[in-house]
Structure 1
Amino acid sequence: KVMRYLQGTKEHMLTYRRSEHLEVTGYSDLDFAGCVHTRKSTFGYLFMLARGAISWKGAKQSVIVASTVEAEFVACFKATVQAKWLCKFISRLGVVDSIAKPLKIYCDNSASVFFSRNNKYSKGAKHMELKYFSVKEEV
């Protein structure tokens, strides 16, 4: 089965372009409470380097959350963890002199971005601060 799949997809490929300035860019998105059976949200992230995908993931979140803001923040946190790992991995390979920092992660939720950049949490949102404080450290 694997060989048949590989034979049928040999025209599919990832393409990378030479670049003077290497920058890892991430994108994070979410489908809030999209699973009709469990109401779990589905998140995804994608990281690009040299105009090509180098890391990606799409999965259901392991917890059910009550708000879009919290679900987006969870997705952004997962992307941040992957971004930190990618930067360390690329640096340890030793084939790249430097990776541009800070690493950019784009998400489409303005409240998540606001919470990441500011220390303005409501009493109802403090639980997010405890688990996902590392996102703020990386912004």
Structure 2
Amino acid sequence: MRSLADDQGYMNRTLRCGICHKVMDHSEEIFQSQELYIPVCITCLHRFTEDDIELMLNIFLVFGGYFGKFSSDLFCLSKIFNRLDQKRIRYEDIEQLNVKLLHTAILHGLSPKDFLKRLKNFMEK
């Protein structure tokens, strides 16, 4: 599979980071995911671990969106769990629920590490 960053025809179009959707103007600002061939800007490369980058790229590929699409002020675990209880959603498929919660957190600008920290604090209350 060819890299999008190396494709000269593609470089004439707007290239965006697969994590934060920042427009990338210069090829020297591009990190290429080895698994998905999705470009990542240097800012995201320095901000997140390589494992977190691959995890977020996979989640965005499946569910869409990008890091920080919504305000982090709007992310509230207690409200999310209350909605789940109101909808009477079963917690049988806990892995699927965890992935959806992580996706929601990332959309609200929380890194996977920050999300786990918030989730741990929430569960300890």
Does TM, scored on the shorter chain, surpass 0.5?
Answer: no
Point out the structure with max Rg over C-alpha: 1
Q: TM-score, normalised by structure 2?
A: 0.25
More helix by share: 2
TM-score by length of 1: 0.23
Structure with the largest fraction of strand:
1
Greater relative CO, 1 or 2 (CA 8 Å, sep 6+): 1
